[in-house]
């Protein structure tokens, strides 16, 4: 099961970085969302994917069973899902406001701090 997840994580990272190289803001935002999911799946896979032995310490024992899944990555993933969703929501609002203000979603057209149509600022005071 882990080799399949490893291939899926690699594919998700590849798609995310491909989308980051795009010039359109919406594709960059989708790349950020996919990258967050890839990292979550990577952490989940690193914590062992088993269903046979639950991550519960039995009575009379001080440690988990040998084949049990690690519960720490699962708890970290729950936190990471909330953080990545809020980060994506912030980026989505930021991209929408930039689109409203600049009337474009291409990042190379957003680079101009002072549009050509505006008059030049005064050079001396």
Read off the pTM. 0.75
Positions of the chain with pLDDT under 70 = 48-53, 112-116
The CATH architecture that domain 2-52+68-102 belongs to is Orthogonal Bundle (1.10)
> In the chain, what are the domain boundaries?
2-52+68-102
> What's the maximum distance between 2 C-alpha atoms anywhere in the chain?
82
The pLDDT assigned to 29 comes to 94
Tell me how far apart the terminal alpha carbons of the chain are, to the nearest angstrom: 70
């Amino acid at each position: 099961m882990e080799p399949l997840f490893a291939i899926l994580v690699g594919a998700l990272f590849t798609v995310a970085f491909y989308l980051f190289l795009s010039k359109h803001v919406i594709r960059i935002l989708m790349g950020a969302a996919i990258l967050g999911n890839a990292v979550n799946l990577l952490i989940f896979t690193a914590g062992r994917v088993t269903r046979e032995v639950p991550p519960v310490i039995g009575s009379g024992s001080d440690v988990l069973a040998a084949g049990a899944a690690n519960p720490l990555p699962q708890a970290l993933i729950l936190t990471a899902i909330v953080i990545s969703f809020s980060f994506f929501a912030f980026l989505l609002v930021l991209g929408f406001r930039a689109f409203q203000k600049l009337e474009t979603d291409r990042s190379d057209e957003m680079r101009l701090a002072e549009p050509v149509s505006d008059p030049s600022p005064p050079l001396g005071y």
